[in-house]
Structure 1
Amino acid sequence: MHTPSTLITSRPLDEYCGLFGLTRAALAALPGPVLDCPGGAAGLTAEARELGVTVIATDPAYAAPLPELTALARAGRDSMATHLAAAPDRYLPSRHLRPERYLRSWDRARRLFAADSAARPERYVAAALPRLPFADGSFALTLSAYLLFAYPELFPPERQLAGLLELVRVTAPGGEVRVYPLHDGASRPCPHLPRLRSGLGERQVSSELVRFARPGDGRTRRVLVLRRAGR
């Protein structure tokens, strides 16, 4: 999932909640584990453990030694700092977080990731879409941020469809997959999303575009929610 051209991020649990329209209480109420794909150097797995929630993170970057991975994550943080300086309103709700506070949340998440992945390596699985080493229906909720639509050069339409179907495969009946964003790094929306959704429907996967309020300013984001048809 990650190549030298992609960004390894260090998002904390609360940012995941904001991205996907979740709450800590909703996560704690889930009947099974959560998959974070790709996990990068996020704090989600470590922070969710404090809620009694099991999160498995998967990313091909986990094949690298931890010092190398954390260095790449620090580079990702520095890249985000550059983006924030150039266009803060594009990345942050104007009245929610100051850029320096936001970057500190990434620093903390990166430290949590480093400690947790060293202590619990079994929860960080080196793997890449569109093939994941998990049994069918393993997860109650699957989250995928900044991958399939963010990097169309790595995931052309047929690989996007294969990746989405794989995320559904590892998600339990009655559970759901949430994917964000639905645009690339230049904020261009996916032009063939209707065709992808049609292809999913032909394979008994229902899809829905759900709007969630962005914390702090009332603006909304669109999240693609997938479920096995009939659920």
Structure 2
Amino acid sequence: MEYKNEVIKLSHTKLDLDRIVVIGRSYDEYVDMFKLSDKELAGKKILDCPAGACSFTAIANSKGFNNTAADIAYDHSEDDLYHKGLKDIQHAVEQMKAAKNNYVWNYFDDIGALHKHRLKALTDSTADRKKFPDRYIPATLPSLPFCDNEFDVILSAHFLFMYDDRLDETFHFQTIEEFLRVARQEVRIFPLVDLKGKRSIYLDKVIKDLKNKGFTLKEVNVNYEFQENANTMLVIKKNEHAKSSMTY
């Protein structure tokens, strides 16, 4: 891919609401998942993608930071997503009761505390989207409607690598390439395991290819683990002479 100094024009395909899972994480979870600090966030333009019902953008901007959220779900209204989110959270909680042993109950005391956090994230993100709709951009990966180097840092949680059973290798490579086009400094991806808690089948190939292209990569342990073994993130730093295209 050649970098072009122009906004990519996209014709978004609206995904049926029934196929969207609307469950969000909190600002505090993001801080721990991505090893963030107020000092690090200050003065930087951050993109959360795909952001879903996460409250990171809402709380970050309330603190005076510059945050944008992107997700295919934002083609739907705030109220539709909120009501879908309520149902999805309840469904997830019920399912989790049967699979409780697959999770580490340190970050959340119990399922009741988890439910409270998820509901708060959904409520905060919905309220912020209603008040500041320009912060929430509809986007259909692996394409983004942003200019080259528009954001300092891109954060991507619980999407790439986690769903390697349904998002194929080409999609992973194309999406990361697009993240690198839009990011000026770095991309952070969490977690690095699939839904079964095993290291993603695509992770090592992505790391090898990006290193060969001149990017700097590091797997970083973080102070967050809810799904078992999901406690590391991938940091991809852009270098001046790194090549733009990946091999896939």
Q: Smaller-chain TM-score range?
A: 0.7 to 0.9
> Given the superposition, is the C-alpha separation of residues 132 and 214 from structure 1 closer, same or farther in structure 2, using an over 3 Å criterion?
same
Shift of 1:214: 2.7
Match of 1:10 in 2: 24
Shift of 1:206: 2.3
Asked whether 1:194 is paired with 2:208, we answer no
Q: Which runs of 5+ in 1 are unaligned?
A: none
CA contact (8 A) 2:33 2:223 kept: no
Aligned equivalents of 1:197 and 1:78: distance in 2?
37
Q: Which runs of 5+ in 2 are unaligned?
A: 1-12, 242-248
Match of 1:23 in 2: 37
Shift of 1:94: 3.0
Shift of 1:213: 2.6
CA contact (8 A) 1:49 1:55 kept: yes
Match of 1:107 in 2: 119
Structure 1 consecutive aligned stretches of length 4 or more whose deviation exceeds 6 Å: none
Give the secondary-structure state (helix, strand or coil) at the position aligned to 2:68: strand
**CA shift digits 1:191-230 (9 cap, x unpaired):** 23221112223333222111123379xx871111111135
Q: TM-score, normalised by structure 1?
A: 0.86
> Given the superposition, is the C-alpha separation of residues 185 and 169 from structure 1 closer, same or farther in structure 2, using an over 3 Å criterion?
same
> Given the superposition, is the C-alpha separation of residues 17 and 10 from structure 1 closer, same or farther in structure 2, using an over 3 Å criterion?
same
Aligned equivalents of 1:183 and 1:15: distance in 2?
17
CA contact (8 A) 1:8 1:40 kept: yes
Match of 2:217 in 1: 207
Shift of 1:71: 2.1
Amino acid at match of 2:163: Y
Match of 1:121 in 2: 133
After TM superposition, the structure 1 = structure 2 runs for residues 59-98 of structure 1, keeping only pairs within 5 Å, are 59-88=71-100, 90-94=102-106, 96-98=108-110
Q: TM-score, normalised by structure 2?
A: 0.81
Aligned equivalents of 2:127 and 2:202: distance in 1?
40
Match of 2:176 in 1: 164
Amino acid at match of 2:44: G
CA contact (8 A) 1:96 1:215 kept: no
Shift of 1:186: 2.2
Aligned equivalents of 2:20 and 2:165: distance in 1?
11
Aligned equivalents of 2:188 and 2:148: distance in 1?
17
> Given the superposition, is the C-alpha separation of residues 128 and 83 from structure 1 closer, same or farther in structure 2, using an over 3 Å criterion?
same
Match of 1:185 in 2: 195
**CA shift digits 1:68-92 (9 cap, x unpaired):** 2112222331233124323445434
| Identical amino acids, percent of aligned pairs | 27
Aligned equivalents of 1:165 and 1:68: distance in 2?
32
> Given the superposition, is the C-alpha separation of residues 23 and 62 from structure 1 closer, same or farther in structure 2, using an over 3 Å criterion?
same
Aligned equivalents of 1:79 and 1:205: distance in 2?
40
Moved more, 81-90 or 143-152: 81-90
**CA shift digits 1:161-218 (9 cap, x unpaired):** 111111111111xx221101112222232123221112223333222111123379xx
**CA shift digits 1:24-72 (9 cap, x unpaired):** 4432x3x321100011011111111121112110001100122221122
Amino acid at match of 1:58: A
Give the CA RMSD over aligned residues.
2.5
